[in-house]
Amino acid sequence: MTETPTPARPKSKGRERHLSVGVRRFVFHLLLTAAAMVMIYPLLWMLSASFKPIEEIFSDPGLIPSTWEWSNYTEGWNALPHPFEKYIFNSMVIVAGSIIGNLVSCSMAAYAFARLRFPMRGMLFAIMLGTIMLPIHVVIIPQYILFNNLGWVDTFWPLIVPKLLATDAFFVFLMVQFIRGLPKELDEAASIDGCGYWGTYLRVIMPLCMPALATTAIFTFIWTWNDFYSQLIYLRDVDLQTVPLALRLFMDSTGTTNWGALFAMSIVALGPIFGFFLAGQRYLVRGIATTGIK
């Protein structure tokens, strides 16, 4: 079928290839490093600017501050009606409630969808998938009216209660996918050993779901910590403001006068996300990969 190649060609081609692979690899590394630098430079610059004296923020695109102004941090920390730890605490309360809510409610629903048979399961599952894509903007006004009538506006409840009711359907889907990957023989063994459905869920499925639970917890942390829209709507009381709201208040009140302190607090706000990113990268990437493609 194929023609016999001349003896010289494959050799020279091989050498050429070898060389070009080396060169190409070098060029790729060069381009990638350049691209990575462009991507990450604004972040590094903001980090360095948070230590810079104010004039330098507007004149020096470099990364090394001439003098290290720790005062940006102390000033920023105390620039608002409350010291910044108050806002961090408020954010943490919402984050903790959301994580607990999502872990419990989403895993329960996921277990039912993945393992139990009941009427209308297919339809309910499809509805669940549909709600993942539903824009929050469509339901936010009646939700606001509902929570307002319950007297919950200016409390943390409107931000935590929906999580207790598994409204983050994305995580239900993530865990359904994960539980389906677990061998069904485990359930059968548990059943033979006398475990009911709750026993199987608590003692067999949940312990094996740890990676999916970790992914859920980390994503919930990052999304809730970053969340601005619903906090903006439900938390107007200055005592209940969270980190994103405090940053916005800071920006509006001091405007462009104290960028150093504003950057310092922005770095404080990004710190936990960065920490979770470093610690939980494995779970984040896996979470995307398992829900994306298995």
**Binders of other proteins among 235-274, rule CB under 8 A?**
243-244, 247-248, 251-252, 256, 259, 262-263, 265-267, 269-270, 273-274
Nearer to other proteins, 96 or 153 (CB): 153
Nearer to other proteins, 97 or 162 (CB): 162
Residue with tokens 């190409």: 24
Nearer to other proteins, 58 or 89 (CB): 58
Residue 111 engages other proteins in binding (rule: CB under 8 A): yes
Nearer to other proteins, 39 or 64 (CB): 39
Residue 64 engages other proteins in binding (rule: CB under 8 A): no
Applying CB under 8 A, among 51, 73, 173, 178 the residue interacting with other proteins is 173
Nearer to other proteins, 67 or 118 (CB): 118
Residue 186 engages other proteins in binding (rule: CB under 8 A): no
Applying CB under 8 A, among 196, 210, 237, 275 the residue interacting with other proteins is 196
Is 111 within 8 Å of 88 (Cβ atoms)? no
Choices 68-76, 87-95, 190-198, 207-215 (CB under 8 A): range interacting with other proteins: 190-198
Contacts of 114-122 with CB under 8 Å at 24 or more apart are 114/175, 114/176, 114/179, 114/180, 115/179, 115/184, 115/187, 115/200, 115/205, 116/197
Site string for other proteins, 68-97 (x = CB under 8 A): ------------------------------
What DSSP letter does each residue of 188-204 carry, written as one string? Answer: HHHHHTT--HHHIIIII
Choices 8-16, 83-91, 138-146, 208-216 (CB under 8 A): range interacting with other proteins: 138-146
**Distance separating alpha carbons of residues 184 and 182, to the nearest angstrom:** 6
DSSP 8-state code for residue 230: H
Helix (H) or strand (E) holding 180: helix 169-180
Please give the residues from 1 up to 60 whose contact with other proteins meets the rule CB under 8 A.
25, 28-29, 31-32, 35-36, 39-40, 42-43, 45-46, 49, 57-60
Residue 125 engages other proteins in binding (rule: CB under 8 A): yes
Is 100 within 8 Å of 160 (Cβ atoms)? no
* C-alpha distances out from residue 73 to 45, 50, 259, 268, Å: 16, 8, 11, 9
Smallest gap from Cβ 74 to other proteins, in A, equals 19
Choices 65-73, 77-85, 89-97, 284-292 (CB under 8 A): range interacting with other proteins: 284-292
Q: Could you give the 3-state DSSP secondary structure of residue 67?
A: coil
Smallest gap from Cβ 181 to other proteins, in A, equals 11
Choices 74-82, 92-100, 125-133, 206-214 (CB under 8 A): range interacting with other proteins: 125-133
What is the total count of residues that contact other proteins (CB under 8 A)?
A: 118
Residue 201, both tokens:
């869920």
What DSSP letter does each residue of 109-160 carry, written as one string? Answer: HHHHHHH---TTHHHHHHHHHHHHT--HHHHHHHHHHHHHHTT-TTSSHHHH
Residue 206 engages other proteins in binding (rule: CB under 8 A): no
- Among 160, 107, 165, 104, smallest CA distance to 131 is for 165
Residue 155 engages other proteins in binding (rule: CB under 8 A): no
Residue with tokens 């409204």: 167
DSSP 8-state code for residue 202: I
